[in-house]
Structure 1
Amino acid sequence: MSIEEIPQGAEVQVISKNEKKARDLIKKLGLKQVKGISRVTFKQRPNVIYAIDQPDVYKSPAGTYVVFGEAKVDDINQRYAEQAAAAAAEGHDHDHDHEGHDHSHEDKSPEAITADLEKASLASPAEEEEEGDVDETGLDPKDIDIIIEQTQVSRAKAVRALKKHNGDMVNAIMEIS
């Protein structure tokens, strides 16, 4: 089929030979395709998010996921700077009462919502509990240091997560992230 024969507005997906082989192997392994996922994001340490829009997601019976799609880097710091510049350019005036009027002019795109959630999670220390000496008995100090390095949390929070997951570093990191 040539390019001229493709109907206008049709979604066309070009798959490489290696990707096709990988997809066939996944089907042989018994992984089931998960429908309805529009975006997958992976967060990395210094405020960098890898986003895959319209991914093909497969799940194993054990709960492991395989994601196919084009990953794009999304820098949160750059997004914050752009939003601050846009807000300054618009000259937002928020000195008035917010009750009783519509905010329909606000951006409701998935990217804006993600940025708002990131901003809120970075700005709200209400979740932080009292920091102090935490009982680290039974835990490897190297494991605690790795969790602190990977997630940028306090030592007390890393210890609580490790204890909750009986020393399982992977699950502790996943809970914190």
Structure 2
Amino acid sequence: MSIEEIPQGAEVQVISKDEKKARDLIKKLNLKQVPGITRVTFKQKGNLIYAIDSPDVFRSPAGTYVVFGEAKVDDMNKRIAEAQAQAAQQEALSKAATADDKSPEAITADLEAASLLDKKEDDEEEEEGEVDESGLDSADIDIIIEQTQVSRAKAAKALRKHDGDMVNAIMELS
């Protein structure tokens, strides 16, 4: 297969003769490929780490592993420094974002305060006006007040809205 025949964007893996021979021997040894491994690291004395990204890993029934891939020296101190720099950058970004935004707890508290304020305003509006109980049973209104802990005016309004149906009036006010 020539280079012109390879579709653009296709993932191509070049395998040396020795690696191909080793893979054929692995198939004969009945080793099973282990899927889902994205990185293999080997540690030597003195924080020297060899890393293989996107390896092909095979396992024998006895628990021996064979790993194929390009090993690169991984400097752990450099990685730690990069991780710390990224963490500091993310912290700075989050501080800048929270300067404008609030935490979820603060937003929840604001919403609860606003809903309580709206309830108080509604109660004040209804309590100011006279309660029109004409055509309604006062015992029904008393039961709604007892079940929902609302004002008499609000209970009468809900009962009137549902044409005297106590269940729906209670459900609306609960």
Bucket of the pairwise TM-score, normalised by the shorter protein: 0.3 to 0.5
Quick one: higher RCO (CA 8 Å, sep 6+), 1 or 2?
Answer: 1
Using the size of structure 2 for normalisation, the TM-score is 0.48
Using the size of structure 1 for normalisation, the TM-score is 0.47
| Greater share of helix | 2
Structure having the higher Rg? 2
